[in-house]
C-alpha cells in the first residue's frame, strides 16, 4: 500500500513539472542582428531605435512585448509583428497610408474651407482611423452647435496607389431641431412670458424659417441658466437657483420641449448701510457720504459693485494707494433685508508692470490704452481692469476681446494682456429716387466708426434727390487730447422741399461741439453753429403774405452759441425698472450774423415697468420758448414747428398759427409750445419671436404766439393757441431694419384749421 501511494505522488509531480516548465526556467533571447520588413517611408534605423533592443543584448519575452508596444504606439503603423528567428530578430510592419486629399460630401450649410480648418487630419500627413473618428465627431459637434443635433458624419477612405488614400467625410446634415416650447416650473414673481424674454433660446413660432434662436443648442442652454440667475439676482432674489433644465423630444421626435425648474426664494432689500475703515488716517465718514445706495432699495449685486467702485475712485483722488473695499453682508431673514458693511482695507502692494496689446492690426494701441484708467507703474486694481475690459468691448471695433492678467517679472508686479480680433467697422448705404419731373436721384451714405484705426467716426452723406439735396460731412473724436472729452463736427449744405408749405429751404452750416461728463449720470454739451439759411419761392406757386415777406428777407446768417445739459438715471440708477431723463437746451444767436434770438427747450421723461415688468408706463413733458431779439421779424424756419415725433395725431406742421390769406394755408410755427404725453406699452399675447407689442397713448399739446412776426396783410388763425387732445393705439414692431411704430390716433379736441392725421409710421424712440 505504501509503495502504491509513493508511485502516485511521483507520477503527479512528474506530470506537473512537464506541464509547467516555464515556472522553472524563463525563455531568454540574444540577437546578433535586427531585420525590418514592410517599411516604405519610415527609416529602418528609426524603427530599430524605437524597438530599443540592442545587438548582443539578452532580452526576455516581456521585453519583446514592450518593444512591440513602443513601435505600435508611434501611431504610424497599422500592424506590427516581432518574430525571433534564431539570432535574428525580424520586425514586420505595415505602415498607415498617407492622406492624398480630404473631401466633404453632403455639406450644404457649412463650407468646405470652414470644415478643413476644424479637422485635425491634413493632406500629406499619415492617416489614422482614430484621428478620422475624432474629426467626424468634431464636425458633428459643429452641426450640433447650429441646432442640427441629428447630423451624422462617417469617415471613408479610398485607396490610391503608392500607399495613399483619399479621406472622405460623408455628412448627413439632418434638419434643425427646434425648441417647440419653453416653459418654467416654480416661478411665481414673473410669468413665463417675461422670463422667456430674458433667455437667448426662443421657442419656435411663425418666423421659424428666419429666426435661428429657436434651434436647440446645448451651450446656449447653459448660457440661459446664467442670464436667468443674473435676472433674479439683480432684482433681490438672492436664493434663486435653477434646479434643472430638462430638454425632451416631442412625441414625433422632431422638436424639443425645454422645461426649466427654478426656485425663486424671497426678495431682499438693503438694510443698514455702513462704512468702516481699517486703514490709519482714512475717514470712513467721507467714504460713507460717497454712497448712493440707501436702505429699502431692492438688493442688486450691481449696486454693490457700483458702490465699491465709487469708494475706490474716491481713494484714488485722495491719494490712498492699494485701497480695497470689502463688502461684508449680514442676512436678516426676519425682515428680508441685507445689512452691508463696506470695509476699507489695505490691499496687496502689486503694481502694473506692463500692458501688452496683441491682435489689433488696424486699431492703434493708444485707442485701446485710452480705455484703461491705469498705466504702467500704477497700483494694480482688479476691478478697474475688469471695467477697462468692458469699455474695450463696448467700442464695437472687435469681434473678440480678452483682457487677462499674469504674474510679472516679480511677484509684486503683473502683466495685463489684451488680445483682440478686429472686425469691419465701416458701412455703405445706397439709395435712389425717381420722379417724372425731376428724373433720377441717388443717395449715398458712407460711415467709418474707426477711421484710420484712431477710434474716430467719419461719415459722408451725399444726396442728389430733387426734394432733398444735401452734402454733409460729419466727424467725431471721442477722446480729444486723450481725455474723456468728445469732439463733434458737422458741416455741409442742404436744400429741401417743404412738405407742408409752398417754399423750399436752403442751408449751409458749420457745427463744432464738445461733450463731457459733469457727473456720474449727467453730461454737458457746448457747441457753436454758423448757419446761412434762406427760404426760396417755388415756381408756379403762391404763398400768403407772411411767408412772402419772409422769403423776401433772402439769405440770413446766424452765429449761435449753445449748450445742452442731460441727466439720465438709466445709466446707473438704483432702480433697474425705472428711470428719468431730463434735458435742457439753450441756443443764443447774435454774436455776429444777421439773426438775434434766444431759443430754449426742456424735456423730462419718466418711465417705470409694472405688473411683473410686463407693462411699461411712460410720461413726458416738453416745453420750448423762442425770443426774437433782433430787428425786423423772425422766420418760420427759425420758430418751432411740430412733427409726429413731438405731437401725434396731426400732419407735420398740422397745428399752430396759420396764414389763410389769399386762399392759402401756410403753417407759420410758433414761439412757444408745451406738450405732455402719457403712454403704456404691453404684450399682445403674440409669440415673442414676432417682436410685436401694443401701446396706448394720450397726448396734450399747444403751439402758439407770433410776437415779432410781420403779420400785416395776413389772415392769421391760431395765434392765441389752444390745447389739442389726442388718444391713440400703437403697434410696436421690432424688425431687422429697426424698431417701427404704427400709430392709429383720433383727435378729441382740435381746431377747424388743424390738419389731422389718423395714421403714421415712425421709428420708435427708445427710452
Task: Characterize the bridge pairing of strands 337-346 and 323-332.
Answer: antiparallel
Q: Please say which residue of 327, 346, 365 terminates a domain.
A: 346
Check which CATH number belongs to the domain holding 696 and give it.
2.40.160.50
691 in the same domain as 744? yes
* Amino acid 388: pLDDT: 92
3-class DSSP state of 287: helix
pLDDT tens per residue, range 236-259? 999 999 999 887 766 555 567 889
22 part of a folded domain: no
679 part of a folded domain: yes
The range of the structural domain enclosing residue 131 comes to 109-172
CA 161 to centroid of chain Cα atoms:
53
DSSP string computed for 4-72: HHHHHHHHHHHHHHHH-GGGTS--EEE-SEEEEES-SSS-HHHHHHHHT--TT-EEEHHHHHHHHHHHH
Nearest to 178 by CA among 256, 99, 252: 256
The count of domains in the chain is: 6
365 in the same domain as 229? no
226 in the same domain as 118? no
Q: Between the CA of residue 679 and those of 363, 618, 619, what are the distances in Å? A: 44, 5, 7
126 in the same domain as 88? no
298 in the same domain as 195? no
Q: Please say which residue of 39, 66, 95 terminates a domain.
A: 95
708 in the same domain as 607? yes
661 in the same domain as 569? yes
291 in the same domain as 196? no
278 part of a folded domain: yes
Nearest to 279 by CA among 311, 301, 250: 311
703 part of a folded domain: yes
pLDDT tens per residue, range 507-527? 999 999 999 999 888 999 999
223 in the same domain as 140? no
**370's grid cell:** 485710452
282 in the same domain as 311? yes
By the 8 A CB rule, do 582 and 545 touch?
A: no
Check which CATH number belongs to the domain holding 45 and give it.
3.10.20.310
User: Which pTM was predicted?
Assistant: 0.74
Distance CA 763, CA 767 (A): 13
Task: Characterize the bridge pairing of strands 77-85 and 88-95.
Answer: antiparallel
100 part of a folded domain: no
465 part of a folded domain: no
- Residues lower than pLDDT 50 in the chain: 1-3, 5-25, 208-213, 765-767
194 in the same domain as 113? no
Distance CA 677, CA 642 (A): 14
435 part of a folded domain: no
Sign of the torsion angle spanned by Cα atoms 352, 353, 358, 364: positive
Nearest to 92 by CA among 34, 44, 52, 36: 36
Distance CA 212, CA 711 (A): 61
Residues across the chain: 767
Q: Please say which residue of 346, 370, 402 terminates a domain.
A: 346
551 part of a folded domain: yes
**750's grid cell:** 382740435
pLDDT tens per residue, range 638-691? 999 998 889 999 999 999 999 998 888 899 999 999 999 999 999 998 877 678
Specify which residues 328 forms β-bridges with: 341
By the 8 A CB rule, do 71 and 38 touch?
A: no
640 in the same domain as 597? yes
Amino acid at each position: 500500500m505504501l509503495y502504491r501511494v509513493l508511485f502516485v505522488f511521483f507520477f503527479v509531480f512528474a506530470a506537473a513539472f512537464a506541464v509547467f516548465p516555464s515556472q522553472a526556467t524563463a525563455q531568454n533571447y540574444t540577437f546578433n542582428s535586427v531585420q525590418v520588413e514592410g517599411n516604405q517611408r519610415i527609416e529602418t534605423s528609426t524603427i530599430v531605435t524605437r524597438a530599443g533592443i540592442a545587438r548582443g543584448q539578452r532580452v526576455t519575452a516581456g521585453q519583446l512585448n514592450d518593444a512591440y508596444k513602443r513601435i505600435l504606439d508611434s501611431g504610424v503603423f497599422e500592424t506590427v509583428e516581432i518574430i525571433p528567428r534564431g539570432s535574428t530578430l525580424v520586425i514586420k510592419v505595415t505602415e498607415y497610408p498617407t492622406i492624398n486629399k480630404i473631401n466633404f460630401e453632403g455639406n450644404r450649410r457649412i463650407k468646405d474651407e470652414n470644415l478643413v480648418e476644424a479637422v485635425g487630419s491634413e493632406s500629406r500627413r499619415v492617416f489614422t482611423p482614430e484621428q478620422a473618428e475624432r474629426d467626424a465627431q468634431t464636425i458633428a459637434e459643429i452641426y450640433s452647435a447650429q441646432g442640427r443635433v441629428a447630423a451624422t458624419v462617417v469617415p471613408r477612405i479610398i485607396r490610391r496607389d503608392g500607399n495613399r488614400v483619399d479621406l472622405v467625410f460623408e455628412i448627413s446634415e439632418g434638419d434643425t431641431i427646434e425648441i417647440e416650447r419653453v416653459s418654467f416650473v416654480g416661478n411665481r414673481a414673473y410669468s413665463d412670458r417675461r422670463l422667456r424674454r430674458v433667455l437667448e433660446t426662443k421657442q419656435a413660432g411663425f418666423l421659424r424659417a428666419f429666426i435661428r434662436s429657436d434651434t436647440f443648442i446645448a451651450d446656449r442652454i447653459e448660457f440661459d441658466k446664467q442670464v436667468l440667475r443674473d435676472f433674479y439676482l439683480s432684482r433681490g432674489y438672492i436664493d434663486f437657483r435653477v434646479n434643472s433644465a430638462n430638454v425632451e423630444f416631442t412625441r414625433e421626435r422632431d422638436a424639443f420641449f425645454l422645461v426649466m425648474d427654478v426656485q425663486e426664494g424671497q426678495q431682499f432689500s438693503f438694510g443698514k448701510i455702513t462704512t468702516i475703515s481699517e486703514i490709519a488716517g482714512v475717514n470712513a465718514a467721507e467714504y460713507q457720504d460717497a454712497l448712493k445706495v440707501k436702505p429699502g432699495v431692492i438688493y442688486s449685486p450691481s449696486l454693490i459693485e457700483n458702490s465699491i467702485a465709487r469708494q475706490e475712485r474716491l481713494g484714488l483722488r485722495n491719494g490712498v494707494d492699494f485701497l480695497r473695499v470689502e463688502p461684508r453682508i449680514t442676512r436678516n431673514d426676519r425682515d428680508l433685508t441685507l445689512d452691508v458693511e463696506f470695509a476699507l482695507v489695505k490691499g496687496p502692494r502689486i503694481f502694473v508692470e506692463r500692458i501688452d496689446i496683441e491682435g489689433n492690426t488696424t486699431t492703434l494701441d493708444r485707442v485701446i490704452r485710452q480705455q484703461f484708467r491705469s498705466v504702467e507703474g500704477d497700483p494694480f486694481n482688479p476691478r478697474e481692469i475688469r471695467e477697462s475690459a468692458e469699455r474695450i468691448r463696448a467700442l464695437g471695433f472687435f469681434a473678440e476681446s480678452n483682457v487677462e492678467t499674469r504674474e510679472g517679472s516679480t511677484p509684486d508686479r503683473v502683466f495685463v494682456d489684451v488680445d483682440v480680433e478686429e472686425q469691419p467697422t465701416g458701412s455703405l448705404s445706397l439709395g435712389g429716387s425717381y420722379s417724372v419731373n425731376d428724373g433720377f436721384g441717388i443717395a449715398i451714405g458712407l460711415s467709418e466708426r474707426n477711421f484710420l484705426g484712431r477710434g474716430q467716426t467719419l461719415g459722408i452723406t451725399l444726396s442728389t434727390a430733387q426734394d432733398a439735396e444735401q452734402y454733409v460731412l460729419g466727424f467725431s473724436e471721442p477722446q480729444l487730447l486723450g481725455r474723456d472729452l468728445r469732439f463733434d463736427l458737422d458741416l455741409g449744405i442742404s436744400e429741401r422741399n417743404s412738405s407742408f408749405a409752398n417754399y423750399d429751404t436752403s442751408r449751409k452750416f458749420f457745427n463744432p461741439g464738445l461733450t463731457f461728463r459733469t457727473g456720474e449720470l449727467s453730461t454737458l454739451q457746448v457747441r457753436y453753429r454758423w448757419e446761412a439759411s434762406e427760404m426760396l419761392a417755388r415756381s408756379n406757386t403762391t404763398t400768403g403774405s407772411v411767408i412772402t415777406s419772409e422769403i423776401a428777407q433772402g439769405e440770413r446768417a446766424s452765429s449761435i452759441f449753445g449748450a445742452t445739459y442731460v441727466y439720465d438715471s438709466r445709466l446707473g440708477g438704483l432702480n433697474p425698472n425705472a428711470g428719468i431723463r431730463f434735458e435742457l437746451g439753450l441756443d443764443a444767436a447774435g454774436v455776429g450774423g444777421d439773426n438775434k434770438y434766444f431759443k430754449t427747450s426742456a424735456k423730462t421723461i419718466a418711465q417705470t415697468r409694472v405688473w411683473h415688468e410686463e407693462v411699461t408706463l411712460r410720461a413726458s413733458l416738453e416745453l420750448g420758448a423762442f425770443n426774437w431779439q433782433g430787428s425786423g421779424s423772425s422766420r418760420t424756419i427759425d420758430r418751432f414747428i411740430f412733427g409726429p415725433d413731438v405731437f401725434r395725431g396731426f400732419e407735420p406742421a398740422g397745428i399752430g398759427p396759420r396764414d389763410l390769406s389769399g386762399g392759402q394755408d401756410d403753417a407759420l410755427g410758433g414761439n412757444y409750445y408745451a406738450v405732455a404725453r402719457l403712454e403704456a406699452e404691453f404684450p399682445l399675447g403674440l409669440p415673442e419671436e414676432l417682436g410685436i407689442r401694443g401701446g396706448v397713448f394720450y397726448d396734450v399739446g399747444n403751439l402758439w404766439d407770433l410776437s415779432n412776426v410781420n403779420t400785416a396783410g395776413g389772415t392769421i388763425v391760431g395765434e392765441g393757441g389752444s390745447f389739442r387732445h389726442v388718444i391713440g393705439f400703437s403697434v410696436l414692431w421690432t424688425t431687422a431694419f429697426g424698431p417701427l411704430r404704427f400709430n392709429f390716433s383720433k383727435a378729441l379736441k382740435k381746431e377747424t384749421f388743424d390738419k389731422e392725421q389718423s395714421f403714421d409710421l415712425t421709428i420708435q424712440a427708445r427710452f
